[in-house]
Copies of this chain bind each other. A is one copy, B any other.
């Protein structure tokens, strides 16, 4: 049970952006360099995130990408949704017309829904800012004050 590598990349890239002051823009190549990820994939990723409203894109020379909202109001759920679509653990999800021809008679219909919802909730509770705050190697630092950290611009 895994997320695609693209989603993983997405979080890495977004974390990088989350640590800059609001309004800063990064180019695709900057982000690829800083994260060590392959440029073409990062580029594709950024286009997608911009199309889904997570990022704001500025075209043209001196353009780039920036967060469309503050990092604390972007959740893991937003990112997963943007890059993988809705959480539907199986083909059989209620409220999708015609996916399964047995829908009308199927007695299993909808049984995964509570699990889907619980997972969405879990993803919603984690914000990008929380994911972006660096942890010291091997957890030497504990109880970091997120707000303080952020204002220091580290």
Residues of A with Cβ closer than 8 Å to B? Answer: 1-3, 5, 7-8, 11-12, 15, 76, 80, 84-92, 104-112, 114-115, 118-119, 121-123, 125-126, 130-131, 134-135, 137-139
Which residue of the partner chain, among B111, B119, B137, contacts A104 with CB atoms under 8 Å? B137
Number of copies: 2
Q: Is the Cβ of B125 less than 8 Å from the Cβ of A118? A: yes
5 additional contacts, CB 8 Å, given A1-B80, A118-B121?
A: A1-B85, A11-B112, A109-B135, A119-B119, A121-B122
Instruction: Name A85's closest neighbour in chain B (CB-CB).
Output: B1
Interface centre among A11, A85, A92, A108 (most CB of B within 10 A): A108
CB distance from A135 to the nearest CB of B (A): 6
| A119-B5 Cα distance, complex, nearest whole Å | 19
Which residue of the partner chain, among B5, B90, B118, contacts A3 with CB atoms under 8 Å? B90
Interface centre among A7, A88, A122 (most CB of B within 10 A): A122
Given A115-B126, A125-B118 in contact, is the A1-B88 Cβ separation under 8 Å?
A: yes
Chain B residues near A122 (CB-CB < 8 A): 115, 118-119, 121-122
Q: Is the Cβ of A8 less than 8 Å from the Cβ of B92? A: yes
